[in-house]
Structure 1
Amino acid sequence: MARVIPFQDHALARLRARVAAAEEANQDLIAFARGHSGAVSSIHSAALAAMEADSFDALLHVVTQEWPLILGLDAVALALIVGDRGFRVDTGGVQLVDPAMLRRLLNQVDAVVLRTVERGHPLFGPACDLIRAEALIRLEGDAPAGLIALGQRTEQPLDGRHGSELLMFLGRCLSAMIGRWSSQA
């Protein structure tokens, strides 16, 4: 005689597992969307702060002093090559740097580099020992050749394409502002 095998318990358990997995994926998607929205808002706030600068010195102040607060970062440095001289600007002020080193670095950064590190790039100056995640953003356009270095003390999961697009936007805004002020000098 044939025996009937009950599949209901097995099917119900499988269905519950699939519903739980779908709910977890949904929560992950909602968390990503909220985080992305916050990142967009921060980047826009940083760009607006740069646009409101009324001089080149004020722009440097915004980038090095206000952007860390706006963007939730621990360090921001700006490096520029002007003529045959290299400059690095951070919270400590303006320092001369080897323009050849900056050119080598620019050749390594296509648009944006996001990475976790054991030690931050030397452009962070004394803060480089504390940096564990950094973004290097190449400046494009009419501005002098250069880049922005953004750093955090804690390792962060890197957001890939979406984070790069936001940082490229920030870099383009800063390039436009530097280009505007350097053309007036």
Structure 2
Amino acid sequence: MASLRARLGAAEEANQDLIAFARGHSGAVASIHEAALAAMDAEGIERLFHVVTQEWPLILGIDAVALSLIVGGKGFRADGSGVQMVDPIILRRLSENVSAVEMRSVENGHPLFGPARELIRAEALIRIECEPPLPCGLLVLGQRAELQLDARHGSELLMFLGRSLAAMIRRCLIEPAN
């Protein structure tokens, strides 16, 4: 009887863990979809950058977002404080060293976070890929708190977010707002 009670207790605990995971995953899916929809509503590349750098941290519940792009041989980095020029060779090297999506815990965030990098303890690096001559680059998402990352499910969601952003950048540059 004691053995059955222990097994039942373990099964109930596993069930509660599964329910907690499902709720968290569902919340992550909803946040990613909300972020993509907010970006889709942006008219023009400047508004898109604003949505990504200013609104996505609130929507996604994270602390920092930076977007770097190589456009026509020039490098740009956009974050909550604005847009800065960056050496395109450095940006290309940084983005080439990242697979489609990387999630990791860190002592200091990626250099693309700029001054906020010292506060970042968990980050996601997402490649932004468009066919030349359109921009390519890297989207970095950061969190101050260390997180236990579910790499398989989280990377699929972040890959969706990165591909959505690349499509919206293409749309803005190919069909600019009037």
Residue 148 in structure 1 maps to residue 139 in structure 2:
yes
* Structure exhibiting the larger radius of gyration computed from Cα positions: 1
- Unaligned 5+ residue runs, structure 1? 1-11
The match for 2:163 is 172
Any residues of structure 2 matched to 1:10-159 within 5 Å, and which?
12-142=1-131, 143-159=134-150
1:104-149 deviation line (CA, Å, top 9, x unaligned): 1111111000000000011011111100000000012344111100
Q: Size of the alignment, in residue pairs?
A: 174
Normalised TM-score (structure 2):
0.95
* Deviation at residue 54 of structure 1 after TM alignment: 1.1
The match for 1:7 is none
Q: Aligned equivalents of 1:98 and 1:157: distance in 2?
A: 33
Q: Which amino acid aligns with 2:146?
A: E
Taking only the aligned residue pairs, the percentage that are identical comes to: 70
* Deviation at residue 184 of structure 1 after TM alignment: 3.5
Q: Which amino acid aligns with 1:157?
A: Q
Q: Which amino acid aligns with 1:175?
A: A
List structure 1 segments (4+ residues) > 3 angstroms apart after TM superposition.
none
Q: Aligned equivalents of 2:159 and 2:135: distance in 1?
A: 16
The match for 1:3 is none
Is this contact kept in 1: 2:62–2:142, CA < 8 A?
yes
The match for 1:5 is none
Q: Aligned equivalents of 2:165 and 2:171: distance in 1?
A: 10
* Deviation at residue 150 of structure 1 after TM alignment: 0.2
Q: Aligned equivalents of 2:103 and 2:4: distance in 1?
A: 40
Is this contact kept in 1: 2:122–2:146, CA < 8 A?
yes
Q: CA RMSD in A?
A: 1.0
